[in-house]
Each structure stands twice: as structure tokens, then as C-alpha cells.
Structure 1
Amino acid sequence: MNIQGQVAAEPQGVAAAPQGHTKAMALAALGVVFGDIGTSPLYTLKIVLAASGHQVVDRAMVLGSLSLIIWTLIIVTSVKYIAVAMRVDNHGEGGIMALMALLSGGRKGLGGKRQRRTFVVIVGLAGAALIYGDGVITPAISVLSALEGLAIKAHSFEPYILPATIVILVLLFLVQPRGTATIGRLFGPIMLVWFVTLGLLGIGGIWENPDVLAAINPAYGLYYLFEGGLTSFLILGGVFLCVTGAEALYTDMGHFGRRPIQMAWFFIVFPCLVLNYAGQAALVLHGTAIAENTFYALCPRELLIPLIVLATIATIVASQAVITGAFSMTRQAIQLGWLPRLHITQTSALGFGQIYIGVVNWTMMVVTIGLTLSFREADNLAAAYGIAVSATMLMDSFLLYIAMREYLGWDPRLSALLAGCFIIVDCAFVIANSAKMLDGAWVPLLLAAIVAGLMWVWHSGRRAVMAVLVSRYRPIHEFLAELKETGVPRVPGTAVFMTRSRKGVPPVMAWHVKHNRALHERVVVVHVSIEPVPFVNPEHRLHVETEDDNFWRAMVYYGFMERPDIPPILELVKERGYDINLDDVTYYIGRETVVAREDGKGLPRWQENIFSIMERNAAQVTDFFRLPVDRVVEIGRQVAI
């Protein structure tokens, strides 16, 4: 049964919003989607101007820098993600993991399918791993940048900026287990106030020097980029900071829909960002020193403390969105078989995206605080910030080229032209950010390499285990015939055997019969398949085949955004007329202990050891499938890989 071609059900969070509530969804999107990109004005222009190396600014440098920022927002965010990427959705879901799942099958052809799938998977995993590197830096640089405004108010506050940042970050991660459903409703209005404030501050700065609006002409940016030599090229690493968070627009499409995100971007976020950057540049042209924080220079001194408070709240909202995004992407990776099962807590019954994963939360907290203590200042963290995001966007561009041709069906020449432009821009940013390698850019790359390595080890280990288990499977008709010949008694009750295979005798059932010399009167073999779509329609959830009298095989399908739940599936089986007693069900699951093969032909020893550790620390199958613990029999066995 092919579920990939079936229409997926609407995500619960999206379906809850009636049509016509686009404005309300756009407001909600402000608090989740645009937090990261919306707090970039706190540090971007300051870092760009400082990277120029000039102590005294000139008109060409300021207008050139501002023009590059404006057109980066247009090309990367408005065109690439809003206009193109958001047309490519996996049944409503976006983001690099959903895109990888959508394209990983490739086209049918002479050997092309496997090659295409391998390329897509490698690119998708690399991009997903890099997002984790970005996720631990965003809270640190955002909160630090907001609190550094205290030093402008009074230098006596400066020693307290770092400790205050640590306290805020610790509290941010500590509240994650409780969920954010209650305060989450305030995120949208808070960010609306933030963006309006950005725009008003920018207008005040532009009033001082309206000539700065000439930077809308891309010629200023191109002239500065090509006439300034290597220095001008390297400032692209700072310019890129203005679009960190742009990938979130695509990733969160499934939560809010395409139109609310587009509306929020074009009517609120984009104009307010451009006004604020232009206002900062106008002040610099008017005489504000590069060494000063150009963002806070826009604010009247008597309003500085309220602005710092608002900026800090906005950065907390942005950090919360990044953390929630890491939880969501981890769930997708688990469902698609790239990470081991982890304990996932649903923190709200109203929002599907409101989940909590403890291992991810505490790991991010330790790494984020470690980075904050190591780099100490936002300017230092900026060196490590851009490389992960720019590399992720480059991975997106490669996948978008395939999607434009195969999914959207666009003309190959148009697809190549658009993708080529995106790839050139992304490569320029990656190269510029790579120049910061010794200054800290290696940190997110190392984190991404660790995550990608663990993903690959887990996936390879699962395939090796599956290969061993499949080799042990027996044809079902032979097994049933043997039961009748040997007179194995059938005892009252219903046995449910969880299996990884679509056919054959589950090894856990064969072991059970061999050692207990009996089998239940009614047997249901359950195979759960996670499909490369986010949600599966309820009518396509279950397919039941009759193998023999009172012996059925249930094929259960879930999307990678759904959590399997087996007891309701059994209720559905009974509703379809299959004679099972729901009050007398025993679940049988297998738990493998991985050992090395004696012939030395299995996985490399180091890989087998890492996989074994991950497998031992994975969440229980009972929890993953929501099985009632008092009705589960777990059977252990060794698997040599």
C-alpha cells in the first residue's frame, strides 16, 4: 500500500485555524517565525561596519554596507524562501528535513533513483545538523546583544552583563519542561510591539539624514563589494547576519501556513527591518562613531532602559523559537530513522508543536552557556554565528534546484538560473564566513559534524540490525503449518507482536512459541511504517491482511510529524469486524542487544560501539508506541552486526 501518494491530513495546529483568520495567524507567526531575524538589527550593522577595518566612515562604505543588507534581505528571504521555497511543501510542512523526505526517493530511471537519493540524504542531513549548531548560538548572541545596551546607559553596568545573560539563559532552558503554551500567546503581540519599535526608531534615524535611502539602489552595494577588494568581500560574513533565521520561515510553514507568513513578512517584518537598518546607517553618516552600538544610538537616552527591556524580551522569544524548532526537528529525525527514540513530552494538548525533549534541552543549555562564557561578547560570537546558517542555506539551494525541476515542474533553464543565483549568493556568504574559522567559526561546524556523525551511525546500525533480523524471518505459511503439525496449543486471549518487517514471522513470536510452547488463540502482527509525509489521513492509517484463521497482520502508517499510538489502532481493527478481545491483550516486543560479529565482516568496531551505546539509551519501545506497561512482555535477544 503506497501512502506517499495519499493526501496527508492537516497538522493539528494548522487545522485549528479557520479560513479567514490569516491576520490572526500572521500575528502568531511574528512570535515564532520571525524572532531570530527580527533581533538581528541589534548587532548586524555594527559588526559590518567594524569588519571594514576603517576608523573613519565614508559615504560609500555606509551606503554600500546598507545596500548589501537590504538586497540580502530581498534575495535570500523574499525571493528564495518566501517566493520559491514556500512553494515546495511536503503536504504543508517545510524545512530541510521535510524537503529531504520529499525528494529522497528521486526519479525512477536506470540507476538514477539510488544516486539521487544518496545525494539528497547527505545534503539534507548536513543541513539539519548545521541547524543544531546555529540553535545553540542564537540564544547566546541575542541575549548578550540586548543586555550590552546597559553599558551605554552606564559603564558601571558592564561587569553585570555576562552574569545576567547566563541567568536569563539558564531560566530559559529551565522552563522548557513546563511548556510555553500559556505565555506563547503573548509572543505575537510582543514581537509586533518590537517590530513597530524597530520601524519608529529607524524613521527617527532616517530623519537625521534622508540621503541614506539611496542605498535601496543595488549599485551602491555592488560598487562597494567589487571596489573595496578583499576587505569588502569579507564583510559579507557580517552582512549575512541580517538573514539568520530566514530558514525558520520555511521550517515553520506547517504551523502557520504560507499566506500568514508571507503577510507578516511583507507588511510588517521586512519594512520595519529595512527602516531600522537605514536609520542606523543614517546616524553613522550623521557622525555616530562606529565603536558605538548603532542600534541603541537610535533611542532617546531617557527611553533606553525600556528599550533594553523590550529587546531582552524579544531575544528570549527568539531563543524560545529556536529551542522549540530544535525539538521539532529532532522528532522528525527520530521518526525518519536518523536518531534513536527519545522521550518526547507533549506539553500542551492544544498545540501539536508544543513538545519537550529533555536530552536536547539540557545538551543545548550546556553548550549555549559554555559558548557564552567562552566568547563573552556578542561581537565575538558573531564570528561563529554565520557559518552554520549560511551552509544550511547552501544545502537548501541544492535541494531547491531538484524540487523546482521535479516537484514544481519548472523549465530546466529557469530552475538552473534561479538555483544558480541562490547557490552563488550562498557560496559567497559561506566563503566570507569561512574566513572567521580561527575566530570561532569552527565551533558550529564541529557541533554539526558530531550530530551528523551520530545520525549516520544510528541509521547504518539500524539497517545492519534489520538485515540480520530479516535473514531470520520464516515464511508465515511454513510457521503456521508447523504449529498445526506439532500440536502447539492455542491459549485464550489476543497476542499482539510488534515487528519491523512487512512479511514473514516476527522473530519475537518465533522465540515466544519456541520457549513457551504455546500461542494465543488470536494473533495480531503489527508493523508500523513512518512515511515521508508529515501526516497520514485517518482513512489510510490502517491496512489489515488475514494470514490465517484468527491470525492477522496490521500495517499501520504514520507521518514523520505524528506519534504512533497502538491501542487505538487495535480498537480500529475491532471496529472493522476482526474478532479480538481488547480486554485480554498482551503485547510482545523485542529488545535487541547489539554485539560484534565474530567473522569481523560487520560494522567497524568503533561504529558498532557507538550504535550500541545509543541503542541502550534509547527510549523504551513501550513508551514510543504508547503501550500499556502492565500488558507488555519484552523479549531480549542478541544481534551480531
Structure 2
Amino acid sequence: MQAVSSRRMAALALGAVGVVYGDIGTSPLYTLKEVFGPHGVPASHDNVLGALSLVFWALIIVVSVKYLLFIMRADNKGEGGIMALMALAQRCTRDRPQLRWGLVLLGLFGAALFYGDGVITPAISVLSAVEGLKVATPELAHYVVPITVGVILGLGWLQRHGTARIGAVFGPVCAVWFVAIAALGVSGIARHPAVLYALLPTYAIEFFTHNHAEAFFALGAVVLAVTGTEALYADMGHFGRGPIRVAWFSFVLPALLLNYFGQGALVLMDPATVANPFYHLVPRTLLYPMIGLATAATVIASQAVISGAFSMTREAMQLGYVPRMRVVHTSQEMSGQVYVPWINRVLVVLIVLAVVGFRSSDNLGSAYGIAVTGTMVITTLLALTVARIQWRWSWAAVIAIGTGLLVVDLGFFSANIIKIESGGWFPLALGLVVFLLMTTWRRGRELVVREIQQGGLALAPFIVNMSEHPPVRVAGTAVFLTGNGNAVPHALLHNLKHNKVLHERNVMLTVETLDEPVADEDQHIEWTPLEGGFARLRLRFGFAEDPDVPARLAECARNGIHFDMMDTTFFVSRESIVAGSRRPGMALWREKLFVLLARNAMPATAFFRIPGNRLIELGAQVEI
């Protein structure tokens, strides 16, 4: 039994190497190059040791301590990621509405920044890998951007097939990558072992005292070494804490450190190699194979980041922060492996624009960092809230740990803020646009629900009226989708008005999404029988589940409630939303934006998987 468990742990750890650590694992391609690049510090002996010391302690404090030992404890029934953490923080603060709303805004902004990261990460990773051609054959330099664009387009095409088919090669390819970069690092360290002095934190401190403002700017490049840390947390539901931690401490971290220190040793011996220390560390006979391996590794890293955007979109959709979209499941074994075609198309276009617009990893390095560090700060704040309220940590512990983590996070964030003018505006602008769309959709839906509830009739007196003045009854079950189970759905009123009949059984169906990834079995169904052949039914789903209404109705049979789908008709009100009413709500331009989003959203009936041959839609106009 123990041997089986060990094999299972090893298999999951190998999978984590490919999916979780692809992003952070390809950071050696560009991190030190950016530290000593055009906007960095001179590659002197003390500066090289200082930069390596900063990279080492960033990996230890941010990745090992903060994420692996602290943040990953804040799981939402095993699920991680900023949306899951936001939902967990919401659940902790139900009795504190102002704090709850503030945390929601923080979480939404962090999620919005993640989309900016989903654009910049593939662009800089693939571009850095292909730039090895400049080292191998300088005459091929002008082919770097076209080749990168081709790889990105291929990556976009690859997404539709999902990780179910290609995931089996992710772990082995990335394992080969980490072994290769570790071997390169060992060869560099062997030629200049004194580079290991950089393990001492004193060199990091002296780096700041000697370089002052330049050191602060270089800190914005050091953060590139810890990009991808959100993936550790977001993929926790797929692999679990144990395999992710085992993969990091036993394999990924040693490989990364060896390579960084190997690059540092090379620069100490030959400062001219600072233009691209990673590829200069590679023997010339192995340059082209290494370029191919690096490109494969960056494609895997990019695929994992984009897949993370798909998963987060589905969660945000379920929680009501983005319009409904088509979601395709790419794996029969893992529900988290999804493909969102619309998001994929938008991301590919933006990534290509970033590559063509910035044209080099050096330029993209200036744009990178703000989205990553902003999300890191927000994740820390949300996790500290959970630690204080749910874990019941003392204020002393929260303040002590929070201060230490926020000093590091805010230091990295501040170092990247100064890069806004030189490219940092790009991911920040993307994040602000996404944040605006999410908050507009959420507020718009609240206004629609408000208008529907204000114009609705109370259900209880309506049922009494129906018993006193009974209409014609027809056989079968009518299911009316409604957001308010205590009011008469518009579709029911329209059906009664125009067809002048009621079904034998009339069910007011409300679909709820919980702030938990998966609903417990006893939460799935809440059935409330009413008088006169009426009933209320609540179906609950977690935010990581697909809201399959017919499947959940079939589940009702366990409780003695039977639905014959061939004898059941679904009635839905399709709202035609009109902007511009004088009621308090949103600015007119935001109302028009919401109307545009609503018109292009996937119909609720398709989203809930209601069969079209059992569906009747009735229109209703709503002014917001």
C-alpha cells in the first residue's frame, strides 16, 4: 500500500513539474539578463553576487515560505487560486458586509491582473527562447519575431485539444529541461566556485547600499525569478499540496539555483556574456538543441498559464462576475481541464500584439512584473484575512507574518511601478479593462434582478388566487427558471395570460452558485412543496462545477421527487435589457456596456444544459 502511495506521489509530482512549474522554470532564460540589461546595474563582481543573493532569497521567501508553506494552507475545499481564495474570504466575512465588499473588489482586481499576466508570460517566455538564435547565428536575428508569432499561433491552436492528449509529455519534457539547466549550472559553478558566496544575505544588503536607486530598479527584474508562483496555488486542486511541495524542494528549486549560480559564475569570468548569460552558458555544439528544448518548455509554460485563465474564467462565470461563455471540457478524468474558445482567441491576439509591439524580451521585461506583483500583494491580504477570521490567528501573529510578507511583496510591486512608462502600462491597462468588465457585469446583473423583483407579484397570494379562481389544468410538469423563488416568474404570468392554462405541477426553480468549489451532497437540492400543485426547488452548485440542471433534476429521484423529462417543459424569461432609465444604478456608458455584454452572453438555457426541445422562452423587457 505504501509503495502504491509512493508511486502515486511520484506521478503527481512529475505532473506538477510540467504543469505547475513551467512558468517559473523558464525564468532563467531572461531574469539575470534583465538585471544587468540596458536599464539594470553594471555587471561588476559585487553586483553579480548581490543579484544572485537577491534571486536566492526571493525564491526562498516568496516561493518556499510564502506560497508553499503559508498561502497553500488557505484552500477552499482543496481548490486554490485567487478566485477560490476570494470566495473563501467572502465566506469568512458574511457578517461584515463592508469588509466583504472590499475583499471582493481586491480579489476581482487580482483576478483581472492575472489576465494581464496571461498575455505577458507567453510573449516574454517564447520570445526569450527563440532569441537563442541571436547567439547561435546572429544573421537570423530578424527571424526571431516571425518565428515567435508562429509559435504563439500554434500554441493557440493547440489549446482546443486540451491537456488531456498532450499532458502526458508535459512532465517528462520539463523534467528534461530542469535536468539540462541544472547540468549547465554545475558546469558554470565548477569553473568559478566562489560564486556560491552569494548564498549569504549580506551580499543582497550590500547590493542596495552600493547601487541605491539603480538597485531598486534591478529589484523589478529580480521578481522575474518568482513569476508563476500563482500557478502553485491555482493548480493545488489538480495535484494537492504534497506533490507540489515535493516537486519544488527535491527537484525544481535545486535545478533553478544551480542554473542561476552557473550563469552568475559565467558573468564573473566574462562580463561580455551578460547580454544573454543563459545561452552563453550552453556549449556551442548544443545551442540549437537547447533552443528547441527551451522553446518546448516555454510553450508548456505558456499553455499552463493560458489554461489557468480558462479555469479562472469558468469560476468567475459561475460566481457571476463575467458573462456566460461556451466552455469545452478537454478531459474526461479531470473537470478542471477546460477550454474557453472566446478567451483563447482574445489572449492569442493580445499575445501576438505584445510580441510584435515590444519585439524583444528586453522590452517585454519592462512590461512584466506589475501584474504578477500586484496579484501577489492581493493574495497576501486575502490570505491574512482568512488566517485571522477562519483560522483564528492572534493579531500579533497576523501582524508579524503579514508585515514580513508585505514588505517583500510591496518592495517588488514598488520596483515595478516605476516601469509603467517603459511598458508596464500594458498589463496594467489590460487588468483595468478586465476589472471594469467584471464589475460592470456584476453590478448590471444586480440591477436586472432588482427590477425583476420590484415588478414581480408575491407567490403566496398568487397561489391563493389560483385556488379560488382555478384556470384550466394540463398534464405534465412546468419548470419556471427564476432568481426569486418567492415571486411569480414573468414566464408563468405570460403563459397564464396568453395560453390561459396551468400545468398539474408548477416548479419555481432557482439555481444558486455557492462560494465553495464543490457543493456537498446535502446542499444539492432543496425542495419546498406549496399548495395548489406549486413547489419551490433550489439547485446548488459549487463555482468549480458545471450547472447541469437536467442531471441535478434526475438526482431528485433519490428524495422521492420524480421528473419525467419527456413530460416536463421549461419556461424561461429572456430579458431584453434597456439602458438609460432614471433609476439609480450605473453611469449611462456602463449601462450600455452591460447591455452589449448581455446581448453577446451565452443563453442561460444553454449554460444550464436545458434541452432545446423541452424549452419555451418568453420575452420580457427590463429597464436599468
Please, what TM-score do these two structures have when normalized by structure 1?
0.94
Structure 2 residue aligned with 1:408: 391
* 2:25 equivalent in structure 1: 38
Q: In the superposition, relative to structure 1, how do residues 311 and 600 fare at CA in structure 2: closer, same or farther (>3 Å)?
A: same
What residue identity is the alignment partner of 1:95?
G
Q: Using the alignment, how far apart are the partners of 1:283 and 1:575 within structure 2? A: 68
- Per-residue deviation at 1:540? 2.5
Q: 2:210 aligns with which of 204, 224, 227?
A: 227
1:577 maps to what in 2? 560
Give the direction of change, closer, same or farther, for the CA distance of 1:42–1:507 in structure 2 (3 Å limit). same
Q: Is the 8 A contact 2:448 2:622 kept in 1?
A: yes
- 2:134 & 2:248 partners in 1: Cα distance? 32
Distance 2:254 2:41 in 1: 29
Match of 2:484 in 1: 501
- Residue in structure 2 matching 1:61, options 47, 54, 57: 47
Please state how far the C-alpha of 1:511 moved relative to its aligned partner: 2.2
String of CA shifts for 1:271-320, please: whole Å, max 9, x gaps. Answer: 11111000000011112415431001111111111111100000000000
Change (3 A) 1:108 1:250: closer
Among 407, 426, 436, which residue is 1:453 paired with?
436
Match of 1:14 in 2: none
The separation in 2 between residues aligned to 1:151 and 1:396, in whole angstroms, is 38
After TM superposition, list the pairs within 5 Å mapping 1:371-386 onto structure 2: 371-386=354-369
Q: How much has 1:605 moved relative to structure 2?
A: 1.2
In the TM superposition, what is the alpha-carbon distance from 1:510 to its structure 2 partner?
2.0
Q: Equivalents in 2 of 1:330, 1:108: separation in Å?
A: 24
Secondary structure of the structure 1 residue equivalent to 2:572: strand
Q: Which sections of structure 1, spanning at least 5 residues, go unmatched?
A: 1-16
Q: In structure 2, what is the equivalent of residue 154 of structure 1?
A: 137
Structure 1 residues 551, 306: CA separation in 2 closer, same or farther (over 3 Å shift)?
A: same
Cα distance change of structure 1 residues 527 and 125 upon mapping to structure 2, 3 Å threshold:
same
Contact 1:106-1:116 at 8 Å conserved across structures: no
Judge conservation of contact 1:50–1:290 (CA < 8 Å) in 2.
no
Matched, 1:75 2:58: no
Letter in 1 for 2:83: M
Deviations along 1:190-221, whole A, 9 cap, x unmatched? 11111111111111110010011111111100
Report the alpha carbon displacement of residue 476 of structure 1 after superposing the two structures with TM.
2.2
1:460-499 paired onto structure 2 within 5 Å: 460-499=443-482
How far is 1:54 from its partner? 5.2
Question: Does the C-alpha gap of structure 1 residues 53 and 561 become closer, same or farther in structure 2, counting only changes over 3 Å?
Answer: closer
Q: Hey, what's the Cα distance between the residues in 1 that align with 2:127 and 2:27?
A: 12
Q: Is residue 266 from structure 1 mapped to residue 256 from structure 2 by the alignment?
A: no
Aligned to 1:96: 82
Task: Check 1:413–1:139 CA distance in 2 against 1; reply closer, same or farther (3 A cut).
Answer: same
Residues in 2 aligned to 1:275 and 1:600: alpha-carbon distance in whole angstroms: 63
Aligned partners of 2:67, 2:107: CA distance in 1, in Å?
A: 16
On the 8 A contact 2:317/2:324 being kept in 1, the answer is yes
* Other-structure match for 2:11: 24
Q: What is aligned with 2:238?
A: 255
Check whether the contact 1:150–1:157 (CA below 8 A) recurs between aligned residues.
yes
Amino acid at match of 1:411: S
Identity of aligned residues (%): 44
Distance apart, 1:59 and its partner CA: 1.7
The amino acid that maps onto 2:506 is V
State the alpha-carbon separation in 2 of the partners of residues 211 and 623 from structure 1: 64
Find the counterpart in structure 2 of residue 4 from structure 1: none
Match of 2:342 among 327, 341, 359: 359
Q: How does 1:110-129 map to 2 (within 5 A)?
A: 113-129=96-112
Give the deviation of 1:176 after TM superposition.
1.7
Q: Is the 8 A contact 2:94 2:100 kept in 1?
A: no
**Does the 8 A contact of 1:522 with 1:580 survive in 2?**
no
Contact 1:288-1:294 within 8 A present in 2 as well:
no
1:491-518 deviation per Cα after TM superposition (whole angstroms, max 9, x unaligned) = 0111111111242322221222122211
What is the total number of aligned residue pairs between the two structures? 621
**C-alpha displacement at 1:411, in angstroms?**
2.2
- Residues 397-438 of structure 1, C-alpha deviation per residue, up to 9 Å, x if partnerless? 111221221222222212111111111111111111111111
**Is the 2:554–2:563 contact (alpha carbons within 8 Å) kept by the matching residues of 1?**
no
Instruction: Indicate conservation of the 8 Å contact 1:336/1:560, yes or no.
Output: yes
Aligned to 1:610: 593
SS in structure 2 at match of 1:311: helix
Change (3 A) 1:147 1:163: same
Report deviation, 1:108: 6.2
Deviations 1:550-604 (A, max 9, x none): 3221111100000111112222223422354332111111111111354354432
* 2:187 is the counterpart of 1:204: yes
User: For the Cα contact (< 8 Å) 2:92–2:390, is it kept in 1?
Assistant: no
Query: Which residue of structure 2 lines up, in the alignment, with residue 536 of structure 1?
Result: 519
Shift of 1:472: 2.6
Task: Tell whether 2:431 aligns with 1:444.
Answer: no
User: For structure 1, which segment, 400-409 or 22-31, has the greater mean C-alpha deviation from structure 2 after superposition?
Assistant: 400-409
Q: Distance in 1 between matches of 2:376 and 2:394?
A: 23
Does the aligned pair in 2 maintain the 1:590–1:636 contact within 8 Å?
yes
Structure 2 CA distance for aligned equivalents of residues 116 and 268 of structure 1: 41
Residue identity opposite 1:24 in structure 2 = A
Q: Match for residue 636 of structure 1?
A: 619
The amino acid of 2:74's aligned partner reads V
C-alpha root-mean-square deviation of aligned residues, in Å? 1.6
State the Cα deviation string for residues 11-67 of structure 1 (Å, max 9, x = none).
Answer: xxxxxx978611111111111111110000001011102256555x32210100000
Q: Structure 1 CA distance, aligned partners of 2:156 and 2:554?
A: 39
Verify the 8 A CA contact 2:41 2:47 in the aligned structure 1: no
| Whole-angstrom distance in 2 between the partners of 1:400 and 1:378 | 33
Contact 1:535–1:559 (CA<8 Å) still a contact in 2?
Answer: yes
Contact 2:574/2:619 (8 A) holds in 1 = yes
User: In 2, distance between residues paired with 1:165 and 1:611?
Assistant: 36
- Note if contact 1:49-1:290 (Cα within 8 Å) is conserved in structure 2: no
CA distance, structure 2, for counterparts of residue 537 and residue 252 of structure 1? 21
Kept in 2: contact 1:344–1:355 (CA 8 A):
yes
Distance 1:316 1:627, change over 3 A: same
**Per-residue displacement from partner, 1:473-496 (whole Å, max 9, x unpaired)?**
333221112222333111011111
Change (3 A) 1:439 1:628: same
Task: Find the counterpart in structure 2 of residue 11 from structure 1.
Answer: none
AA of the residue aligned to 1:50: G
Aligned to 1:13: none
* Structure 2: segments with no counterpart, 5+ residues: none
1:141–1:378 Cα contact (<8 Å) kept: yes
Shift of 1:185: 1.0
Report the Cα distance in structure 1 between the residues aligned to 2:124 and 2:255, rounded to whole angstroms.
Answer: 21
SS for the counterpart of 1:332 is: helix
Change (3 A) 1:179 1:108: closer
Give the superposition deviation at 1:611. 0.5
8 Å contact kept, 1:593–1:637: yes
Measured in 1, the distance between the counterparts of 2:213 and 2:41 equals 14
| CA distance in structure 2 between the aligned counterparts of 1:625 and 1:486, rounded to whole angstroms | 34
Task: Tell me, yes or no, if the aligned pair for 2:580 and 2:588 is still in contact at 8 Å.
Answer: no
Distance 1:348 1:359 in 2: 19
Distance, in Å, in 1 between the alignment partners of 2:50 and 2:460 is 75
Q: Which residue pairs with 1:280 in the alignment?
A: 263
Q: Which amino acid aligns with 1:259?
A: G
Matched with 1:7 is: none
Q: Secondary structure at the match of 1:556?
A: strand
